[in-house]
Amino acid sequence: MTIKHRYFIFLLLIFTTATVTAQRKNPSYQKYIDKYSSLAVEHQRKYGIPASITLAQGILESGAGQSKLARESNNHFGIKCHSDWKGERAYHDDDARGECFRKYRKVEDSYEDHSHFLADRPRYASLFKLRITDYKAWAQGLQKCGYATDRAYANKLIKMIEDYELYRFDSGKGAKKVSAKEIEKQIKSEPKHRRNVYKTHGLIYVQALNNDSFEKIAYDLDFKVKNLRKYNEVPEDFPLQPGDIVYLQKKKKKADKPYYDHVVVIGESMHSIAQQYGIQIKSLYKMNKKDPEYIPEEGDVLKLR
Tell me the pairing of strands 301-303 and 99-102: unpaired
Q: Is the pLDDT of residue 144 over 80?
A: yes
Share the mean pLDDT of the chain. Answer: 88
Provide CB contacts within 8 A for 170, sequence distance 6+: 44, 50, 51, 52, 132, 133, 135, 239
Angstrom distances, CA of residue 166 to CA of 9, 99, 142, 258: 35, 31, 17, 36
**Which of 103, 147, 149 shows the shortest CA–CA distance to 124?**
147
What per-residue confidence (pLDDT) applies to 98?
A: 81
Q: How far apart are CA 245 and CA 255, in angstroms?
A: 16
pLDDT at 12 over 70: no
Which 8-state DSSP code applies to residue 35? H
3-state secondary structure 45-64: HHHCCCHHHHHHHHHHHHCC
CB atoms within 10 A of CB 57: 26
Q: What is the pLDDT of residue 266?
A: 93
Higher pLDDT, 301 or 175: 301
Listed residue (157, 169, 171) closest to 33, CA to CA: 169
| Residue 179 banded pLDDT, cuts 50, 70, 90 | low
What are the structural domains of the chain? Answer: 27-171 (1.10.530.10), 180-247 (no CATH), 261-303 (3.10.350.10)
Angstrom CA distances, 227 to 206, 208, 230, stand at 14, 16, 5
Nearest one of 127, 129, 150, 149 to 139, comparing CA atoms: 127
Q: What are the residues whose beta carbons fall under 8 Å from the beta carbon of 234, sequence distance 6 or more?
A: 214, 271
- Residue 124: pLDDT over 60: yes
pLDDT of 22 above 50 = no
With 80 as the cut, is the pLDDT of residue 189 above it?
no
Mean pLDDT of 268-277: 96
Residue 133 clears pLDDT 50, i.e. is over it = yes
Q: Is the pLDDT of residue 29 over 60?
A: yes
Q: What is the pLDDT of residues 71-97, one digit of tens each?
A: 999 999 999 998 888 999 999 877 678
Q: What percent of the chain has pLDDT over 90?
A: 76
47-65 tens-digit pLDDT: 999 999 999 999 999 999 9
Name beta bridge partners: 247.
Answer: 205
- The reported pLDDT for the residue numbered 120 is 94
The 8 Å CB, 24+ separation contacts for 137-146 are 137/267, 138/49, 138/50, 138/53, 139/53, 139/56, 139/267, 140/266, 140/267, 142/53, 142/57, 143/266, 143/267, 144/266
| Number of Cβ within a 10 Å radius of residue 139 | 29
DSSP, collapsed to helix, strand or coil, labels residue 301 as: strand
In angstroms, the CA 162 to CA 176 distance is 17
Contact 268, 297 (CB under 8 A): no
